[in-house]
Structure 1
Amino acid sequence: MPAKPSGAPQRRSRNTGAATASGGPPLSLERIIATAVELLDTQGVDGLSMRRLADRLGAGAMSLYWHVGNKEEVFDLALDAVLAYHPPEAEAHGWRANVVHMLEDWRAAMLRHPWSAALLPRRALGPSMLGRLELLSQTLSRAGVADADLNVAIWSVWNYVMGATITRGSFDRSPDDLAAAQRRLTELGERYPSIDRSRLLLDSDWDGAFKKGLDLLLDGLTPKR
């Protein structure tokens, strides 16, 4: 489970009005966080430092502290930025469609920014993630999930989305590697007949598997009439 939900610091946009050392546009909180996201996308969590961020912005490192308190705040704000959710203007038909849309969007955001899946469980929950969980809680409640079961339902969904995303993001074996692994399973088919028959290691429909698994999970959450 993630850290306590204290929330990311409130965003403040203080444009100093002065151009950066390289003659680029003035610093602003929005520009700092957007650049931090770009840096995290290319360098990962360990690759982000205030010095490196300042260099990317063409600014002095100390100038960043007019806008953010420290690197930890940059992490929180960058994570909150990539996990922002914008529900569709036209509400989907039925509670399940609304839940599926939000969860698929959450997974897609983490796949676009792989560092976010690793960082999320280690940070206090920010406004964007708390908003998603609140929307999920309200939707499941309206669907008939009892208050006594709501936390279990939410953590079950959390664990499914996080697990599926991390697995997909780290499963980067080449087609040749997968084919070789499947051939080995075929040779051992008598020992692993079900895995051999299902061609498990050659199934690359990650999106389809996520949707079907989510359907199974939501079936279990649906109150029995």
Structure 2
Amino acid sequence: MDTPYGIAPLPVWERPEPQPRAAPVPLSRAKIATAAIRLADVRGLDGLSIRKLAKELGVGPMRLYDYVLNRSELLDLMVDAVYAQIAEAGRHSEWRATVLDIVHRTRDAALEHEWFVDLLGGRPHLGPHALAVGESTAAALNEAPGVRSIDDLQRVVGALNAFIVGALRREITERRTARSTGTDVTAWQTALGPYLTRMLETGRYPIVARLVIDGAHLDAEETFQHNLTAILDGITGRT
């Protein structure tokens, strides 16, 4: 493909699958992505490499380069396979129900494949399933009462995506920290509770004290739903 910067390979989505080879282990991009996801689910992205994936598949590393040029293309395939799960969200008659379905499926996918959040908010995801999710989300938000122009749509899509990335990264980070340290929220509160109580009793942090003492203590799922509702309410009520 000719570009202003010279000759660049076609994206993996536009390159045809290699011709089948007479080999003990048949391969396809779908099979490679499935195996890579399985490996990353167990070891994380740091534990994923072309060499380790080839061993998992029972082939030589060079064989995989017939299907993906590098690790970045492998990650693209993996991400789009996850988006395929999210893309199963149905189109509802009401815009808000469609958005809720897509966002909750995104959270479910991130909790199942924690490495997925490490790839959110970075490079644009341009695989066919990612584009389908983006289209469904934008089409639904375009029907919201507060969206009257393409500028409005860009802003609400950006706000929703920022919330999703931030909320999921925080939730997954907390899960990882609890696993790596063996300290859950209850244990952390027990350990630091006396210190925090002493600090709040100084009277220097009255609003923080109200948040800690009087605020609702929601679990991760309730917090996610509550904040998502606030985002959608804001979109609905824009003037």
Quote the residue 2:220 is aligned against: 206
The alignment status of 1:164 with 2:167, answered yes or no, reads yes
TM-score, L = length of structure 2: 0.78
Tell me the SS of whatever aligns to 2:27: coil
Q: Find the aligned partners of 1:60 and 1:198 in 2 and give their Cα distance.
A: 60
Measured in 1, the distance between the counterparts of 2:40 and 2:95 equals: 34
CA pair 161-108 structure 1, distance change in 2 beyond 3 A: same
Structure-1 residue corresponding to 2:21: 16
8 Å CA contact 1:95, 1:139 repeated in 2: yes
Which of 181, 188, 194 is 2:199 aligned to? 188
| Unaligned runs of at least 5 residues, structure 2 | 1-9, 179-183
Please name the residue that 1:139 is paired with: 140
Q: Distance in 1 between matches of 2:81 and 2:46?
A: 19
Alpha carbons 2:144, 2:235 under 8 Å: kept? no
**Distance in 1 between the 2:161 and 2:21 partners?**
40
Give the structure 1 partner of residue 3 of structure 2: none
Aligned equivalents of 1:8 and 1:121: distance in 2? 20
2:120 corresponds to 1:120: yes
- The one of 178, 190, 207 equivalent to 1:179 is 190
The question of whether the paired residues in 2 share the 8 Å contact of 1:51 and 1:61 is answered with: yes
* SS of the residue 1:188 aligns to: helix
Deviations 1:130-157 (A, max 9, x none): 2222111111112231222111100100
Worse overlay, 47-56 or 121-130:
121-130
Aligned residue number for residue 181 of structure 2 = none
How far apart, in 2, do the equivalents of 1:195 and 1:223 lie?
A: 26
8 Å contact from structure 2 (residues 200, 209) kept in 1 = yes
2:156 to 149, 153, 158: 153
Structure 1 residue 100: Cα displacement: 0.6
- Separation of aligned partners in 2, 1:189 and 1:40: 42
| Structure 2 residue 62 is matched with structure 1 residue 46 | no
Q: Relative to 1, partners in 2 of residues 1:146 and 1:47: Cα closer, same or farther, differing over 3 Å? A: same
Alpha-carbon deviation of 1:216?
0.7
The superposition leaves residues 39-64 of structure 1 with CA deviations (integer Å, 9 ceiling, x where unpaired) of 22222222221111111111111111
Matched-pair contact (CA < 8 Å) for 2:12–2:68: no
1:199 to partner: Cα distance: 6.1
Deviation at 1:204, TM superposition (A): 5.4
Task: Tell me the percent identity.
Answer: 30
- Number of residue equivalences: 211
Q: Provide TM-score, normalisation by structure 1.
A: 0.83
Deviation at 1:188, TM superposition (A): 2.9
Instruction: Look up the match of 1:197.
Output: 213
Where 1:142 maps in the other structure, the secondary structure is coil
Query: Is the contact made by 2:33 and 2:78 (CA closer than 8 Å) also made in structure 1?
Result: yes
Which runs of at least 4 in structure 1 moved beyond 3 Å after TM superposition? 11-15, 86-89
Q: Provide the rounded CA distance (Å) in 1 between the counterparts of 2:218 and 2:21.
A: 49
